[in-house]
Structure 1
């Protein structure tokens, strides 16, 4: 069995906005965000992971990432996280 790709959503505790991405190694990628090594989020730290899901391949992960960035994807996340206290 091959390893998963992960789609993830980070919440900036600085500006309250979300960042959506995908990776093969979620733990390493999150650490890169925390350490300020990702250009898109380095000035938006601190960050926390608020959502992630596994996909069987890279193509599925990229499609899911694109969906979560749409209006309907954002509505899905809001509904999915409605019981989360940070929402």
Structure 2
């Protein structure tokens, strides 16, 4: 079975607070964010909408991409989201479809 890693961006709402994360189990990680299981930034600021996802074959690739995205300014992140998800739809719904 091929390992997959995901870099993702969550938002509180359109143009709201953003969070960049990484995981090897996107479904589980989104449930943790949505249910507030892990206290921290996303729970405190209500950042639960999955608005951008990028799959990677290796942890190293995903970690490098996450580090780069975290250094990006807010406008660049918004542009990236709107390029692939112009309506800021919650992509979590597509995970369970």
TM-score (norm. length: structure 1): 0.81
Q: State the Cα distance separating 1:67 from its structure 2 match.
A: 0.7
RMSD, matched Cα: 2.3
Name structure 2 gaps, 5 residues minimum.
Answer: 89-97
User: Any conservation in 2 of the 1:67–1:73 contact (CA below 8 Å)?
Assistant: no
Whole-angstrom CA distance in 2 between matches of 1:40 and 1:68: 17
Larger strand percent: 1
**Contact 1:68–1:74 (CA<8 Å) still a contact in 2?**
no
The number of aligned residues is: 84
> Structure 1: which 5+ residue stretches go unaligned?
none
The equivalent residue for 2:43 is 42
